[in-house]
Chain A
Amino acid sequence: MTDPMNDAQELRAAVDLVGLGRYRQDPVTQIIEWDTRLKAMWGLPPDAAVDLGLFLAGIHPEDRDRVQAALGQSVDPEGDGVCDIEYRVVGVNGNAERWVATRGKTVFDQGRVVSFHGVVLDISERKRAEYANMMLIAELEHRTHNLLAVVDALAEQTILSCETLGDFQVRFRERLATLSRVQGLLSRGQTTPVTIGELVALELRALGAETNGTHVVIEGPEVALPSSSVQILALGLHELATNARKYGALGAPNGSLAVRWHVKSDGGQSFLVLGWAEDGIASRRASNANLSRVGLGRTLIEKSIPYQLDAHTRLEITHDTVRCDVTIALDRSDTQPSWDALR
């Protein structure tokens, strides 16, 4: 009994729904025939005559050898006659690029080809998704390895400025916590950029310094930061804040801290101008001969930020005050090279 689902009309509908292109070799004339959909994939009009040369000409040059080898194998009477391969098609004019999957079957009778036919499916969508996934993984890998290298460098720097292991533990952990907060902010993605106000508040809050309007003032407009600047700025702010807690305004009875910023335009470029000002810290300074020590904070502010951003910085510490001024170009291109551009 024949299955009504297998009649020609039903099968044709199924082929159309899936979008299969078909080819076959006429068993009598030996001529290769393609259906209209397959011709369209190769950029050929419906009435075009096809041959092996045209077929190969429409395949991406880098994939041609691979396809030819698979085809050759499928018409080898010693083999199983199956052709199953994915490759790129640029079309006979070379101006398109799509991924296709070909499944074909050659049937032999006593070593002679008696039928050769197959189907071709456009799998560009799937390949695009796979590619996007691969890029994401490569970028994640890049970010992770870079971050580990930064952690490694931070550990080195922290060791240099610590006298005891206990001291190292506390300071290194605080710096790691800053990096961790930054990763949290950056993982929000490009659509919601990190703002300077958010970063300042986050680093101060992490040390328990709430803005109470008198001792601690944070003031400035919402300014989105280039994502490449967030990590190094957070580390710099952390060092300023932690020093303010240990030696400066965040622990002094009469101390005050003001972090203010604005945007200025100069020659068509905009800059973020940020000032960190601590006053009234003389009482704490007296017990601390820490004025000139070159700690990580000073390195980050005076060296790292200008080195890796288009920025100018200034750090000045007196017996009663701390002043840090940072000017950062905001227009800098903020695109990481895609994994693709590097290959």
Chain B
Amino acid sequence: MMSPRILIIEDEHLIAHALRSALRVSGVEIAGMAATVEQALALLRSMPKIDGALLDINLRGEPAYAVADDLIARGLPFVFTTGYSAQIIPKGYQHVPVLQKPFDPNEILTALFPNA
């Protein structure tokens, strides 16, 4: 993949901001950042081309599984990011890679595109 376009869905701005800088260094294009479920769904509707997403499972107090379902329906790879331990992820999403915070931004691309 030449320059994947990634969506960062994370409600803590400092974390989103740092991820964006780190991913840009790795040649990733940041398609957008969203802090809420609503914003994330709107971005997914309006974005013509996205190759993957980072998804915090807890967005301003709301579980983010509606966004996960939307990403799955679109066939887009994504990674859950969370401060909780991975055991919290419901059974239906067990195929989704999980990065527990804080994580090395270099892990993101490997988790998103294992075959790249």
Contacts and interface: CB of A to CB of B under 8 A. Distances in A.
B107 interface: no
Contacts of B106: none
Nearest to A137: B85
A342 interface: yes
Contact of A153 (B14, B62, B85, B88): B14
Interface in B11-29: 11-18, 21-22
Interface stretch (B40-48, B53-61, B71-79, B108-116): B53-61
Contacts of B14: 150, 153-154, 157, 235, 300, 304
Contact of A333 (B15, B16, B61, B103): B61
A301 B85 CA distance: 31
B101 A149 contact: yes
Interface in A137-152: 138, 141-146, 148-152
Interface residues of B, number: 28
B49 to A, nearest CB: 24
A152 B18 CA distance: 9
Contacts of B90: 342-343
Contacts of A232: 13
Interface in A80-128: none
Contacts of B17: 153, 157, 299, 303-304
Contacts of B60: 228, 308
A156 B18 contact: yes
B83 A343 contact: no
Given A138-B88, A146-B12, A307 B83 contact: no
B3 interface: no
Contacts of B63: 337, 341-342
A337 B83 contact: no
Nearest to A235: B14
Contacts of B100: 145
A305 B11 CA distance: 11
A4 B17 CA distance: 76
Interface string B78-94: 00001111001010000
A337 B58 contact: yes
Contact of A145 (B21, B35, B57, B101): B101
Nearest to A335: B61
B58 A336 contact: yes
A308 B58 contact: no
Nearest to A144: B83
Given A148-B101, A308-B11, A342-B57, A141 B83 contact: yes
6 contacts: A142-B82, A146-B12, A157-B14, A308-B60, A339-B88, A342-B58
Interface of A: 138, 141-146, 148-154, 156-157, 228, 232, 235, 299-300, 303-305, 307-308, 333-337, 339, 341-343
Interface of B: 11-18, 21-22, 33, 35, 57-58, 60-63, 82-85, 88, 90, 100-103
Query: Closest 3 interchain pairs by CB?
Result: A145-B83, A153-B18, A304-B13
